[in-house]
Chain A
Amino acid sequence: AQSVAQPEDQVNVAEGNPLTVKCTYSVSGNPYLFWYVQYPNRGLQFLLKYITGDNLVKGSYGFEAEFNKSQTSFHLKKPSALVSDSALYFCAVRDRGSGGYQKVTFGTGTKLQVIP
C-alpha cells in the first residue's frame, strides 16, 4: 500500500521569504513523487516530479523539491515567495512496482498563503 502525508493544513509566509511545503510518503518499493498546485476554481496543475537521478528536482514557476530517501520526504520549496503563489498544493506518490500504470495517491493538500 502507498500513502502520502502533508502534515500542515496551511502554511503562511511573507512575500519574498523562502517557502517550504512538507510531504512525506510511504511505499513498499521505490516511489515516483509529484507535486501539483490548484488555484481557486481551477483544476490541478502539474509542477514537478521525481523519477530518478538528482535528488533536487526543478519545476514550474521557480519551484523545486528535494527527494530524501532516508527521511521518505519530498518537500516543495521556493527561494522567494510571491503573492501569486497562494494556492492549494498537493503531493502525490506512485509505487514503481513491477511497471505499468498504477494509481496515484494524493495527499490531503496544504493551503499556502503568501502575505504581502
Chain B
Amino acid sequence: SAVISQKPSRDICQRGTSLTIQCQVDSQVTMMFWYRQQPGQSLTLIATANQGSEATYESGFVIDKFPISRPNLTFSTLTVSNMSPEDSSIYLCSAGGSGSGAQETQYFGPGTRLLVL
C-alpha cells in the first residue's frame, strides 16, 4: 500500500489569491489523481496528474484554474488559482499502486480543507 501525505492540512484564504497543495507518496506510483469533496458528499475527480506531461482534466475543470505539476513518481502539486468562496472544499490527493493494472488500489491522502473568505 501507499502512504500519502498532504500539505497544508487546512487553510483559510482570501478571495482572489491562490493556494498550492502538495502531495507526497512514500513510494513510486504510476498514477496520481486530484479530487474535490464537499463535506459528507462524494468525490469529484479534478484531474489525473501525469508524470512528465500535462495533466488530464475532467469536464468542468481547466488548467488555468487548477494547474497541476507532477515532476516525479512520488510528488504532485495542485494549485487553486484566483480563489472564490465556491472553491471552499476538501481537496484529496490519490495515488495508484506501483503497477499499472486495472486491479490496482487507489490510496488517498488525508485531504486539505480549504475555506475561502
B101 and A99 within 8 A (CB): yes
B111 and A42 within 8 A (CB): yes
Complex: A86 Cα to B4 Cα, angstroms: 23
- The 8 Å CB contact of A109, one of B4, B42, B107, B110, is B42
Number of chain A residues close to chain B: CB under 8 A: 29
Q: When each residue 76-109 of chain A gets 1 if its CB lies under 8 Å from chain B and 0 otherwise, what string results?
A: 0000000000001010101111011111101111
Q: How many CB-defined contacts (below 8 Å) exist between A and B?
A: 60
Considering the complex, which residues of chain B in the window 90-117 have a beta carbon less than 8 Å from any beta carbon of chain A?
A: 92, 94, 96, 100-111, 113
B residues neighboring A (CB under 8 Å): 1, 4, 30-31, 40-43, 45, 48, 92, 94, 96, 100-111, 113
A residues neighboring B (CB under 8 Å): 32, 34, 36, 41-46, 49, 51, 88, 90, 92, 94-97, 99-104, 106-109, 111
